[in-house]
Amino acid sequence: MTLRLGDTAPDFTQESTEGTIRFHEWAGDAWVVLFSHPADFTPVCTTELGKTAALGGEFAKRGVKPIAVSVDPVESHKAWVNDINETQRTTVNFPILADADKKVATLYDMIHPNSLVNATVRSVFIIDPKKAIRATLTYPASTGRNFDEILRVIDSLQLTDGHKVATPANWKDGDDVVIIPSLQDPEEIARRFPKGFKAVKPYLRLTAQPNK
């Protein structure tokens, strides 16, 4: 199936390094980053899982629960976690789904259509507390994921959910934001953005980040 932004993230039950995961129940009211790996003991993914663990505090303060998926079995995952902890000097503190039957990979359209083997592509799904898919990213096997970008996207989504703004190119938390074009009422603008705004064009109005 092809998943689009706004679709409900498919629910599933699957084994993991932390026992049986019933996905929607496990997610609860948190944001979730679900990310896939083609196989255990792969070099780029080893660094990515280590980075995810190292950023555990950053995910937690945003109310985000990371969860990984690979098609190898739990025993292999646990052995790989030992390598990750050793080589990346961290402690993996999130579950890795053991998707040997490719249930999750199929639900989330992670099977590479041009692969010589049924390996999962390296995808990222950012899922909100209502279980809606809010962003997706897919990387080639040779390019490690940019976790600064993943956190930046989460910051943008959480900010723009609570305020009538959008985030411009290369925005980072604390930078100016854009007032959405549909907001035209002067009184509401003044109430929402008491620091004022700069109208570069009628449709391009920059203002200080409202939650700072």
pLDDT digits (tens, 9 = 90+) for 6-24: 999 999 999 999 999 999 9
The residue type at 123? S
Environment class of residue 110 by beta-carbon count within 10 Å: exposed (0-12), middle (13-18) or buried (19+)? buried
Specify if 123 maps to a domain. yes
Specify if 38 maps to a domain. yes
Q: Are residues 136 and 53 in the same domain?
A: yes
The residue type at 21? I
Q: How confident is the model at residue 38 (pLDDT cuts 50, 70, 90)?
A: confident
Q: Per-residue pLDDT for 118 more than 80?
A: no
69 backbone dihedrals φ, ψ, rounded to 5°: -145, 135
Q: Are residues 63 and 115 in the same domain?
A: yes
Domain with 192 in it: what CATH number? 3.30.1020.10
Per-residue tokens: 139: 């990387």
- Average the pLDDT over 17-37 and give the result: 97
Length of the chain equals 212
**177: domain range?**
163-207
Specify if 74 maps to a domain. yes
Q: How confident is the model at residue 119 (pLDDT cuts 50, 70, 90)?
A: low
Task: Report the distance separating Cα 49 and Cα 92, nearest Å.
Answer: 7
Q: Are residues 61 and 132 in the same domain?
A: yes
The pTM assigned to this predicted structure is 0.94
Q: Are residues 24 and 98 in the same domain?
A: yes
pLDDT tens sequence across 59-113:
999 999 999 999 899 999 999 999 999 999 999 999 999 998 989 988 998 876 5
Q: Are residues 59 and 106 in the same domain?
A: yes
Q: Are residues 138 and 176 in the same domain?
A: no
Specify if 47 maps to a domain. yes
Q: Are residues 103 and 196 in the same domain?
A: no
- Evaluate whether 102 touches 19 at the Cβ level (below 8 Å): no
Specify if 2 maps to a domain. no
The residue type at 135? A
Q: Are residues 34 and 135 in the same domain?
A: yes
Specify if 5 maps to a domain. no
**How far, in Å, are 72, 147, 162 from residue 51 at the CA level?**
20, 8, 28
Residue with tokens 């809606």, as numbered in its chain: 132
Q: Are residues 79 and 173 in the same domain?
A: no
State the average pLDDT for the chain: 93
Strands 177-179 and 204-207: antiparallel
Last residue of a domain, one of 112, 144, 176: 144
Q: Per-residue pLDDT for 121 more than 80?
A: no
Q: How many structural domains compose the chain?
A: 2
Provide the annotated active-site residues.
45
Specify if 4 maps to a domain. no
Specify if 175 maps to a domain. yes
Q: Are residues 20 and 109 in the same domain?
A: yes
Last residue of a domain, one of 93, 114, 144: 144
Q: Are residues 100 and 191 in the same domain?
A: no
